[in-house]
Structures are given as C-alpha cells and as structure tokens.
Structure 1
C-alpha cells in the first residue's frame, strides 16, 4: 500500500544522519588544523624555554653546559639543534626546533621554529 503524497513529502527520518555525514569531514579537518596550531604554539614555547635555559647555563659553564641545559626539558619526540657561544660581552643561544605534523615523534613539517636568548657573560674565577 502506497503512502499518501502529503505524508511522504513531510517525512524527514534520516535527514540528520545525512547532514552529519556530510559535515563530518569538515569537522575533522577543522579539529586537525586546530590541533596543529596548538602544536606550533607549543613548539614556540619549547624553543624559547630551551634557549633561555641554555643561555643561563652557558654563561657560567660554557658550550657543553649550554647544550645540556637546553636539551634538558626538550621532549624526546621533538627534533632540536642548538647554537651556543659568546658574542662580545653576551652569551647567545639559538635553539631551532622542528614542528611535528599532528603527532610528535612521527613526521616533521619543513618548518623550523627559532628560539633565541642572550645574557651578559659572568666573570669566571
């Protein structure tokens, strides 16, 4: 038995599922982009902290102390390089940290985040 024409036009069963299925990829892409933006921000924080700690340690202990202090709080999943050295009467450190793609420890984006710090050189007795 066929349904009357008026009832078939007003029947919306399943419409919500179809709309959600259509927007789900957009929702997932938006969440992935927000997560990636958070990772970039955290990488900036890590680079700045590593440079600060390296500069404080390097002004007293030299390059080895600088590199050890800079790498101390860097999570193992992040790739980082450090340049430590005196420049005149300041001790300068540049930390370059690569930005991971979605999950740290997997692939890295071709983006390097710099962190720089400089402190006055303390006299070594």
Structure 2
C-alpha cells in the first residue's frame, strides 16, 4: 500500500495541465489590461484630433461642435465647449473612454478631455 502511494506522489503526469489552468486567468487579465490601454491611447489621439478640428472650424466661424462630433467618429462625446477671446479660439472636447468589462472590477466610468487653441481667422475684405 505504501509503495503504491509513494509511486503516485512521484508521478508528474498532468502537472502541465494544472500549471496551465493556474496561469490562464492571469494571461486573460493581462490581455484585457493591454486592450484597455489600447482603447485609452486611441481615445487620447482621437479626442485631440476632434478638438483640433473643432478649433479650426470655430476659427472660421463654423460649427465647432458638429465638426468635433464628426471628427470623433464612434466615440461618445460628453460635451464640446468653445471659448472665443477675440484673437484666439479654444475648443475643449470631453470624451467618454470606452472600457473593457473586467471581472471582479466591472465597468469603469472615465472621461478624458482635450483642448486646442487656434488663432482666429480674419475676414478679408475686397
């Protein structure tokens, strides 16, 4: 009986499967974290571009909010604010960051704001 028990304790069959099962959830969480960081980076780039495009439109008396919304693509805009001080136009875009639902953490509600300032275009009279 003791020989059989000793033989079973030295048997390493199946150890790779147990190690894989132990590490697999950490690999999935790492992949979800990397995907979330990619979504944040994408949101930063697109929101800055939307603010810049909105400021360009506002500099020539265009509709900054509509241009920023079009430029943001499929991102959800919380707000678009335009400030005009006579010489410069500043557009601030607030964007909701898309998130990955992480188990035990859930959805994270996070917004990001980007702004752009451009000199106002002067009208040329004929």
Checking the alignment, whether the CA contact within 8 Å between 2:76 and 2:96 is kept in structure 1 is: yes
CA separation in 1, counterparts of 2:20 and 2:73?
Answer: 38
What is aligned with 1:120?
119
Please report the RMSD computed on the Cα atoms of aligned residues, expressed in angstroms. Answer: 2.5
| TM norm structure 2 | 0.80
Q: 1:98 aligns with which of 96, 99, 103?
A: 96
In the TM superposition, structure 1's runs of 4+ consecutive aligned residues that sit over 2 Å from their partners are: 3-11, 107-110
CA separation in 1, counterparts of 2:71 and 2:108?
Answer: 21
What is aligned with 1:85?
83
Checking the alignment, whether the CA contact within 8 Å between 1:100 and 1:108 is kept in structure 2 is: no
The structure richer in strand per residue is: 1
Q: 1:74 aligns with which of 72, 86, 93?
A: 72
Structure 1: stretches of 5+ with no match in the other structure = none
